[in-house]
């Protein structure tokens, strides 16, 4: 049983919902980002989703797009993101990690090399935002060979027939996008996702996680109550990071803010 499967199994035994936290690797700089990442499991985060900074995003809103710009300006790239995860694993071999990337950085890095290095660094799952179903053969063999989970996004407008095809090679969990549009721009409504949740549960035994537009603990609680197995919070955390500068005092303040924010969410779900 890998780390992602084990985490959802343990949470289900406790009748709890997973708290998945997104950060952009290297935002606002490598060391600060690593410190933040190391602190997340102690703040109630069950799964860490770490983004590879990219300047031409298709699904990211202005908050996460700005975080990528800060990270790249500070010298962050895919290679350093993998190194950051490797550093994290020196002290934490339990917390599941999903790396989120667009396909271009992976292609530039080298597909075979990326998946080999991803496994070596301690990654559990891979989410490639802009890789369509029709092109997944590019990576399926490498995913399987390196025993990584293939996390797939399901849009709110995806038909059942297409969802079945997308989920055929999926593992770990299913990521349902809760809104039409990009991240961090509007609030997601739990009631608008009930039908899609029921449809996905009929065609997949994987945990169903919801993300995009979840900004506070009350929303997270409502999504948990209608039956989601996990909630992803990204822009709200990244916004807190953006408001702090890289000094020891400010990082301590940032961690205090994330403690309060994360604790509020974890206590509700």
Strands (E), the chain: 18-24, 47-51, 97-101, 125-128, 149-150, 152-154, 174-177, 208-211, 230-233
Residue 49 annotated in active site: yes
Asked if 229 contacts 209 with a C-beta cutoff of 8 angstroms, the reply is yes
Encoding tokens for residue 116?
């080999």
Nearest to 225 by CA among 191, 180, 183: 191
| Separation in Å, CA 206 to CA 100, 169, 251 | 19, 11, 37
Among the listed residues 27, 49, 124, 136, the single catalytic one is 49
Cβ-Cβ contacts under 8 Å for 185 (sequence gap 6 or more): 61, 62, 213
| Separation in Å, CA 41 to CA 44, 91, 236, 258 | 6, 11, 17, 11
Cα–Cα dist 166/48, whole Å = 23
Among the listed residues 27, 46, 60, 229, the single catalytic one is 60
Active site residues: 49, 60
């Amino acid at each position: 049983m890998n780390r992602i499967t084990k985490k959802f199994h343990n949470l289900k035994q406790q009748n709890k919902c997973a708290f998945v936290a997104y950060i952009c690797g290297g935002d606002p700089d490598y060391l600060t980002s690593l410190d933040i990442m190391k602190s997340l499991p102690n703040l109630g985060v069950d799964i860490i989703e770490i983004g590879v900074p990219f300047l031409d995003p298709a699904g990211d809103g202005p908050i996460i797009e700005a975080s990528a710009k800060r990270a790249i300006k500070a010298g962050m790239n895919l290679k350093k993101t993998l190194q950051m995860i490797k550093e994290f694993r020196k002290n934490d071999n339990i917390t599941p990690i999903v790396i989120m990337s667009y396909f271009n950085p992976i292609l530039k890095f080298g597909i075979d090399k990326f998946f080999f290095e991803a496994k070596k660094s301690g990654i559990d799952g891979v989410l490639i935002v802009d890789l369509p179903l029709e092109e997944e053969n590019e990576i399926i063999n490498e995913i399987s060979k390196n025993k990584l989970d293939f996390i797939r996004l399901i849009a709110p407008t995806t038909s059942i027939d297409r969802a079945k095809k997308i989920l055929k090679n999926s593992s770990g969990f299913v990521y349902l996008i809760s809104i039409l549009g990009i991240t961090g721009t509007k609030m997601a409504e739990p009631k608008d996702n009930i039908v899609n949740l029921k449809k996905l549960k009929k065609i997949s035994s994987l945990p169903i996680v919801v993300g995009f537009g979840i900004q506070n603990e009350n929303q997270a609680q409502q999504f948990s109550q209608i039956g989601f197995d996990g909630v992803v919070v990204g822009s709200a955390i990244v916004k807190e990071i953006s408001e702090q500068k890289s000094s020891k005092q400010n990082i301590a303040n940032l961690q205090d803010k994330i403690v309060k924010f994360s604790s509020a969410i974890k206590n509700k779900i």
